Amino acid sequence: MNLKRNSSGVRVGLKAWCLAICFLTFAPFVFAQAPPVPPGGTVVAAGLEGPRGLTFGPDGLLYFAEAGLGGTQAVPQGCQNVPAPVGPYHGGPTARISRIESNGTRTTVVDGLPSAVSSLPTGDTNGAADIAFVNGQLYALTAGGGCSHGNPNFPNSVLRINVQRHTLELVANLSRFFQQHPVAHPNAGDFEPDGVPYSLKAFHGDLIVIEPNHGRLLRINLGPGPRIEQLSDLSAPLGHIVPTSVANLDGRFFVGNLGLFPVEVGSSKLYQVTDKGFVIDYWGGFTTIIDVQTDSQGRLYVMEFSSAAGFPNVGQGRIIRIANGTAEEIVSGLNVPTGMALDSHEDIYVSDLGAAPGEAGRIVRFANPISGQVLTTIEVRPPAPLPPGQREDDDN
């Protein structure tokens, strides 16, 4: 994530990967000591290299993506660079997919995935971004691949992972798709030619991808037909909102956006988007949305990267649960979090310090409370009516 001043010098724009700008505030504290574990949390894994998206597998074990440490491979001549001060990147095969075994140890499911470190002094890194299971099969999403990230032989992709053999297969070449299908309103000051895909979710036997820098909502078809389908170019109706996350509920996608820095409290939204890509409504009052999930009871969970005004810092992340028209803060004190997942008991697991450099990352577990602090500033209304013919079923 990078900081960009606009022509007026008043407001600050945001690089669409959207995470490591917090290092400008956060890195000195991290190197001195780790921040306290958030209230009510229990650390289940530590010493992680940029943990991002996480999910539970059919075996009941927790799987998660790690962005890695970048590398030393420069962007080759002839490749389009990401504008300074973020670019140029240096790439390397240091990202991985990990799993927490039943005895609590971390093991590697697959490694050698593309990772890229920016030119920012804080070491902003993109790598493995998220994972999802479809019919028992594991898939992974990469954000550190492609020529512009110093990984010319490994594009940003959706990958099929063989958990038993620790091998991978490219399913969808996102870098190529992005370059062949430009969006309506790219943000030139921080444009990422290979994109920085962030969110991956199962959907009716296929996969849904959110790409923040361009503002794309994609469907990855795992059956016959075109492999990559752009459901919505969100930049066309909404501009550079930096969408980061998606969940499917009540026959629609709920898409959360991070917004711009410095943080303006209440400026992020939870957009309602049909499966044809039309924006039909939004709920407002959120701040720096970084992840959205659902549970078996049809409740929504919205994780905020940093809920206070100004620039992100430790202890400012939180989780909001939405049910029956009420928004409640149920977890607070998170430290630059990057992803969350719910287990079969609906306990919540968070990639805490996910945007921190090096091996500072950890996964923290929280019991899901019966109730929390009601938030009257969050705008929750009954879901907007769906267009005729829109199906009402859900599949996450």
Write the secondary structure of 330-359 as one string of H (helix), E (strand) and C (coil): EEEEECCCCCEEECCCCCEEEEECCCCCCC
Is the peptide bond prior to 262 cis by the omega test (within 30 degrees of 0)? yes
Return the pLDDT at 394: 57
Residue 108 Cα distances to 43, 96, 134, 145, 261, angstroms:
19, 7, 20, 19, 35
Q: Please give the Cα distance from 220 to 201 (Å, whole number).
A: 10
3-state secondary structure of 127: coil
76: DSSP letter: P
Q: Please give the Cα distance from 48 to 91 (Å, whole number).
A: 19
What is 32-374's CATH number, 3.40.50.880, 2.120.10.30, 2.60.40.10, 1.10.10.10?
A: 2.120.10.30
Return the pLDDT at 5: 28
Mean pLDDT value of segment 214-241: 94
189: DSSP letter: G
What percentage of the chain exceeds 70 in pLDDT? 90
Return the pLDDT at 15: 43
Would you tell me how many other CB atoms lie within 10 Å of the CB of residue 341? 21
Residue whose tokens read 């199906």: 391
The pTM score is 0.92
Return the pLDDT at 24: 32
The domains of the chain are located at 32-374
Return the pLDDT at 121: 80
What mean pLDDT value characterizes the chain? Answer: 90
- Pull the structure tokens for residue 48: 């992680």
Dump pLDDT digits (tens) for 281-334: 999 999 999 999 999 999 999 999 999 999 888 999 999 999 999 999 999 999
